[in-house]
Amino acid sequence: MGASDEELMLAYAGGDAGAFEALYAKHKGGLFRFVLRSVKTRGEADEIFQDVWMRAIEARERYRPQAKFATWLYTIAHHRLIDHWRARGLAVASLDDDERPVEEPAAAPDVEPERIAVASQMLERLAAAIAALPLAQREAFLLHQESGLGIAEIARATGTNEEAAKSRLRYAMNKLREAIGDD
Amino acid sequence: MTDGDDKLARRYRELAREEPGAALDAAILAASRRPARRASFASRWAAPVSIAAVLVLAFGLTLEMRQEEPGVETSVPAPRREAPPPVQRAEPAEKPKPLARERLAPAEPQPKTAPQAFPAQSAGALKAPAAAREEKVPVEAPREETRAPAADLQRAPAAAPPPASPPAAGAARIAPESLNPAPAARAKSLAAPAAQSPVDAELERIAGLRAQGRDAEADAALEQFRRDHPGYTIPDAMWDRVKPR
């Protein structure tokens, strides 16, 4: 059994560049998709994704394994995304607003044209439904799917309580199941 | 996890195949191999110096407030004992009231001029109200008077009318007050930085830069703040003040 993420990060802080490469290889896909589905364009996703890793790199000496590495990494991503949303006039307070069309379904095809083009109709509907979720619900769903975080860790990463995290995830999954006809 | 959840997760996996580009991978891995950036002298010492300053201010403020609290702390009577009663004034005993007013009325604006007072002057200033007190208060009970001036006022209502009581009660504290005027205002100004954490102070500094229109410096400072505190959520109100324009 290999070293845990936390051990790898500590090894990296101690000067082992290879440890970071292992961490990056493990988490880059999930983090990238988490960011990609939280913003509108791939350009924004690239910028935020790189910024999150840069912050993790710069914080290496201050890293303390008080939680799972993934929780720490996605907490950084969450904060970076909050900055991004705020800069675009989206109030963080309205993250839970279920009524507000945060990202209109019509915007979904613009998110990833090439991906949507090759996807099946059902997957198209799923992608559109994910894009249409309120920010907080979408974030909870993506954290659950992409990082494998549990309810408690999602709550910690997003700075909320477990009940709220659980509720957001449940709402999101119900909506998505409905969207792909699995209801 | 329910069967529906599993199915949804499978569908999502079919959808989720995006990866960062090779150029992005290369840039991040290259950055990871660079040695850790050493904090500058200023940023290395900013936090300890801020904390030390806050502690010193808080300690000074506490001492100051203890000294100024009448009738509670044991340190209050001390200056009174050090200030010996002035030479017995041969004031005519038949006119105690006008004298007290004459002396105490000009004493009221004294705090305004006190900032310029030097210790020597304040020693002189100590004499006047002390003399006024001499006329009003029985000599045999000075300590009791400092502890409960209201009781003394009741005992000698004619000599110490209510409007004159604040300066009279403050006679023992004149020296510290004249050295450190306007304690309430100063306490307010000291309390504000004392309550601020280094993180808040840094955000305030950035907000200040932003308010002055020094956006480039504010952007750089905000970026640095983000690097130094990647896990810190800037409150909405503060974000409105520091966010990039």
HEC readout, chain B: CCHHHHHHHHHHHHHCCCCCCHHHHHHHHHHHHCCCCCCCHHHHHHHHHHHHHHHHHHHHHHHHHHHHCCCCCCCCHHHHHHCCCCCCCCCCCCCHHHHHHHHHHHHCCHHHHHHHCCHHHHHHHHHHHHHHHHHHCCCCCHHHHHHCHHHHHHHCCCCCCHHHHHHHHCHHHHHHHHHCCCHHHHHHHHHHHHHCCHHHHHHHHHHHHHHCCCHHHHHHHHHHHHHHCCCCCCCHHHHHHHCCC
What is the distance in angstroms between the Cα of B19 and the nearest Cα belonging to chain A?
5
List chain A pLDDT tens, one digit each, 183 residues: 578 999 999 999 988 889 999 999 999 999 999 999 888 889 999 999 999 999 999 988 888 888 889 999 999 999 999 988 888 776 554 445 444 444 434 444 455 555 555 456 777 788 889 989 998 999 999 999 998 899 999 999 998 999 999 999 999 999 998 888 765
Specify the residue for token string 């309550």: B195
By C-alpha distance, which of A163, A145, A144 is closest to A154? A144
By C-alpha distance, which of B140, B160, B139 is closest to B150? B160
Whole-model pTM?
0.50
Decide: A112 and B18 in contact? Cβ < 8 Å: yes
Residue type, position A99, single letter: E
List, for residues B98-111, the tens digit of each pLDDT value: 444 444 444 444 44
User: What is the arithmetic mean of pLDDT over B214-242?
Assistant: 86
Minimal-distance CA residue of chain B relative to A117:
B15
Is residue A176 less than 8 Å (CB to CB) from chain B?
yes
List, for residues B45-60, the tens digit of each pLDDT value: 888 889 999 999 999 9
Decide: A83 and A13 in contact? Cβ < 8 Å: no
Show the CA angle centred on residue A59, arms to residues A58 and A60, nearest 5°. 95
CB contact (8 A) between residue A83 and residue B37: no
Check if the interface score ipTM surpasses 0.90: no
CB contact (8 A) between residue B8 and residue A177: yes
